[in-house]
C-alpha cells in the first residue's frame, strides 16, 4: 500500500478530502497517510489528522537557523515514516531543490487555478482582475519552480459576473476535493507516466 506524507500549513480541507477518500472512497485499500507534517504549530490540519488517528508532527520552520536545516528535518521525518508519495495540501512554503530532488517524481501539489495561468498566491483575485471566463484547479507534479511541474489533472469552473474572491474560491475548492484524491489514486495504481512536460495516464 502506498504510504503518503502530507505537508500542511493551515486548515487542511484538502487533507480531509484525502482522508475521506481513503476511509470510504476510491483510495480505500490503495493508500494510507503515514504522517502529516506542519511547518506551523496549532493549525486545524493537525487536529484533523489526530481525529483520524494519523501521526501528526510539527516541524516549525521558525525553530531552524536556515531553510536547509529545516528541510533536512522534513526529509528525515518523511523517510522515518516510509513515505512513497509527498502531497502538498495548503503548504505555504516553496520546496528547495534538495527536497524536490530527493523525492523527484513523487511530490504532488494542488493549485487553485488552471495552470500555467496564475501561479503563486492570490490567484482568484488575479483571475477576476484579468476577466477570465473560466478558472479552476490543477494537480501537478512538483519541480524546482513555482507551480511549474507537469500537469496531471485539471477541473474548470465558470467565473460568474457577480463572483467575489470568496465565492469563486469556494466553487474551486469543491473541485480540488474531487480531483486531488483522483490524482493520488492514479499515482497509487502506477498509471501516471511523465514524458517531458506531459503526464500520460496509462490504460485510458
So which residues are the catalytic ones? 111
Q: Nearest-5° angle of CA 50, CA 90, CA 33?
A: 40
CA distance 129 to 125: 6
- 9 with 91: CB under 8 angstroms? yes
Residues whose CB falls within 8 Å of the CB of residue 26, separated by 6 or more in sequence, listed in order: 181, 182, 185
Residues in the chain: 204
CA distance 192 to 182: 12
Residues whose CB falls within 8 Å of the CB of residue 82, separated by 6 or more in sequence, listed in order: 3, 34
Amino acid at each position: 500500500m502506498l504510504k503518503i506524507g502530507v505537508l500542511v500549513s493551515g486548515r487542511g480541507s484538502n487533507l480531509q478530502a484525502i482522508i475521506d477518500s481513503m476511509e470510504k472512497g476510491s483510495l480505500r485499500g490503495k493508500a494510507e497517510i503515514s504522517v502529516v507534517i506542519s511547518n506551523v504549530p496549532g493549525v486545524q490540519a493537525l487536529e484533523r489528522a489526530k481525529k483520524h488517528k494519523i501521526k501528526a508532527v510539527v516541524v516549525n520552520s521558525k525553530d531552524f537557523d536556515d531553510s536547509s536545516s529545516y528541510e533536512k528535518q522534513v526529509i528525515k521525518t518523511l523517510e522515518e515514516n516510509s513515505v512513497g508519495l509527498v502531497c502538498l495540501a495548503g503548504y505555504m512554503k516553496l520546496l528547495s531543490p534538495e527536497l524536490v530532488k530527493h523525492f523527484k517524481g513523487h511530490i504532488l501539489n494542488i493549485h487553485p487555478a488552471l495552470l500555467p495561468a496564475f501561479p503563486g498566491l492570490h490567484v482568484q483575485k488575479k483571475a477576476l482582475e484579468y476577466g477570465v471566463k473560466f478558472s479552476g484547479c490543477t494537480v501537478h507534479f512538483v519541480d524546482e519552480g513555482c507551480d511549474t511541474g507537469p500537469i496531471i489533472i485539471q477541473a474548470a469552473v465558470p467565473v460568474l459576473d457577480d463572483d467575489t474572491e470568496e465565492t469563486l474560491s469556494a466553487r474551486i475548492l469543491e473541485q480540488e476535493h474531487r480531483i486531488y484524491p483522483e490524482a493520488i489514486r492514479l499515482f497509487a495504481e502506477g498509471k501516471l507516466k511523465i514524458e517531458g512536460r506531459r503526464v500520460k495516464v496509462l490504460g485510458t
